[in-house]
Amino acid sequence: MKLFKNRLTVTVIVLSVSFLLLISYSAKRKKVSFVENGVGTVLNSVQGFFYNINSDIKGFVGFVSNFSEVKAENQELKKKNSELKQKAASYDSLKRENTKLKKMFDFKQSKSEYNYVGGNIILKSGADALKGYVINKGSNDGIKVGMAVINDEGLIGQVTSVASNYCKIETISSENISVAALIQRTQVNDCIVRGYTDNEDKEKNLSILTMLPLNSDIKEGDTITTSGIGGDYPQDIIIGKVKSVEDNKGKMEKEAIIEPAVDFTRLQNVFIVVPKDTSEIKY
């Protein structure tokens, strides 16, 4: 194969030189002979063939070189895009955390008669995983049974048992918990919210508002908060919104199903409300 290539190259060179000589010779004459024309045609074809091969080779080499550069650039852009996504996610997380802390700060400022102990959920507790939790704060941190548990979204529930370095809480979806409540729109505050289990969907986290007269003006969408009556919970903590209203003629009262403001499926951090003066505020 190599020998063939060498011979072909020599042949092309010889023909090219011959063609140049013919051109030089024929330039002195006005008419080109039949032989010169034939040789020229052959040489032009051969030279054109090799010229096209050479152009294709240069084009292929350029393509390979450009492809490598584009591939490297694409990988670099992917890396930068991944870094930007991570930074954006971190920014969004910090922004959400900042919003939560600001809400808690505003609430603490308005309820300065209480201290607030921050804690993290370390376990889920009880038969229903979304109605009971274990928090990494206990009696060593001043936590006592009956203290309210909140976050930036609203009321979570109440401390039900305490150890030295942890405590258990139950949420307002638990039937063991009851809260003195107030209907924000009407300012009616002689009602109670307690945990509720929907027989059709027992996994739903709901509460029920009771002790309302049949002529009570309560509507779907009304906001329900703690009333502060009894001193068990600070006033004006959001409990949730009215999902539906129905008459309980057997008890001669209205009842309203409440959807809690707190999303218990994403619960991570909590604040336990600790009164500064336990002699005045009952727990």
DSSP string, 51-79: HHHHHHHHHHHHHHHHHHHHHHHHHHHHH
- What does 218-257 look like in DSSP terms, one character per residue? --TT-EEEE--TTSSS-TT-EEEEEEEEEEETTTTEEEEE
Query: Both 124 and 96 in a single domain?
Result: no
Q: What is the CATH number of the domain that holds 188?
A: 2.40.10.340
What is the per-residue pLDDT for 61? 55
Specify whether 130 is located in the same domain as 239.
yes
Q: How far apart are CA 273 and CA 108, in angstroms?
A: 10
Whether residues 49 and 137 fall in one domain: no
For residue range 153-177, list pLDDT tens digits in order: 899 999 999 999 999 999 999 888 9
Residues 94 and 139 in one domain: no
Which range of residues forms the domain containing residue 100?
1-110
User: Among 88, 110, 132, which residue terminates a domain?
Assistant: 110
Q: Does 181 share its domain with 228?
A: yes
Name the region of 180 (left: φ>0; alpha: ψ -120 to 50; beta: rest).
beta
List, for residues 206-258, the tens digit of each pLDDT value: 999 998 888 889 999 999 999 988 777 888 999 999 999 998 877 888 899 99
Domain annotation covers residue 283: no
| 4, 92: one domain | yes
Domains in the chain, number: 2
Cα–Cα distance measured from residue 20 to residue 78, given in angstroms and rounded to the nearest whole number: 56
The dihedral built from the CA positions of residue 200, 202, 206 and 208, taken in this order, carries a sign that is positive
Is 158 domain-assigned?
Answer: yes
Examine the fold and report which residue of 61, 84, 110 is the final residue of a domain before the chain moves on.
110
The dihedral region occupied by 177, where left means phi > 0, alpha psi between -120 and 50, and beta the remainder, is beta
Question: Does residue 64 sit in the same domain as residue 132?
Answer: no
Same domain, 252 and 122: yes
Has residue 2 got a pLDDT over 60?
no
* 130 — pLDDT class (breaks 50, 70, 90): low
Asked if 103 and 122 sit in the same domain, the reply is no
Reported as a single tens digit per residue, the pLDDT across 36-89 is 454 445 445 545 554 555 555 555 556 556 767 777 778 778 777 877 777 777
Going by C-beta distance under 8 Å and a sequence separation of 6 or more, which residues neighbour residue 209? 181, 191, 192, 193, 218, 224, 242, 255, 256, 257, 258
* Any domain includes 281: no
Question: Does 151 reside within a domain?
Answer: yes
Do residue 36 and residue 22 come from a single domain?
yes
Q: Are residues 121 and 268 in contact, defined by beta-carbon separation less than 8 angstroms?
A: yes
25 plus 130 within the same structural domain? no
Predicted local confidence at residue 201, as pLDDT: 62
Q: Considering 110, 133, 149, which residue would you say is the last residue of a domain?
A: 110
Question: Does any domain span residue 27?
Answer: yes
Does one domain contain both 96 and 127?
no
